[in-house]
Amino acid sequence: MRRILTLIIVAVFLIGATDDSPIMKAKAQLFGFKDKNVRGEVLFYQYDDMRVRVFGKITGLPKNKTFAIHVHQFGDCSSPKAAGGHFDPYHTGRHGNPNDPIGTHHSGDLPNMKSNAKGEAILNFTTKAFTVVPSPYSVLGRSVIIHAGADDYKSQPAGNAGPRVACGIIGIIK
């Protein structure tokens, strides 16, 4: 009886245990185009259920201000325009709110972030709008761009977010 009880407890533990480790990780190290004090990193963690956790910290931003942040189609930070437009693997041609249904707007449309009194901004959200694992929807080899202003989530093609102030190319990490 004791052996059966032990097996039941072990089975319940194993069934209830989940491994929530990412299956693939990527990072973009961001640098300001003109203001070299703007720096940061954005991490992308892909999980088995296809959700991607996006989180990071940006420093050196103007204080107490809201900024747009997007994934752009090209991994080129040689100039503000080199990254191309917003990543749009669903070919919607539409800018929109990241909370809108997937496939109705650019996958690269991310939530705005707000800097604090020290000029630091934190990004932390989860999405299924893109992948890290190689696919037509993957962000690997693309870029993260921070804009000078907030995204209004309406104006086409880029949310009236203003000039591009920082960029980082998304690459695989261990």
Give tens-digit pLDDT for 98-126: 888 888 889 999 999 999 999 999 999 99
Is 110:125 a contact under the CB 8 Å cutoff? yes
Q: Is 86 a catalytic residue?
A: yes
Q: How far is CA 64 from the centre of its chain?
A: 21
Q: Is 105 a catalytic residue?
A: no
Per-residue pLDDT tens over the stretch 164-174: 999 999 999 99
Active-site residue, from 72, 105, 142, 151: 72
- pLDDT (average), residues 23-31: 97
| Model pLDDT, residue 52 | 96
Active-site residue, from 88, 105, 106, 142: 106
Q: Is 147 a catalytic residue?
A: yes
Active-site residue, from 105, 142, 151, 164: 164
| Model pLDDT, residue 169 | 98
Per-residue pLDDT tens over the stretch 30-39: 999 999 999 9
Active-site residue, from 88, 142, 147, 151: 147
Q: Which residues contact 57 (CB under 8 A, 6 or more apart)?
A: 40, 41, 120, 121, 122, 123
Percent of the chain residues past pLDDT 90, beyond the cut: 73
pTM over 0.95: no
- pLDDT (average), residues 127-145: 96
Q: Is 53 a catalytic residue?
A: no
- Structure-token pair, residue 12: 């319940």
- pLDDT (average), residues 133-141: 96
Q: Which residues contact 148 (CB under 8 A, 6 or more apart)?
A: 67, 161, 162, 163, 164, 165
Q: Is 91 a catalytic residue?
A: no
State the DSSP H helix or E strand holding residue 10, giving kind and residue range, or none if neither: helix 2-16
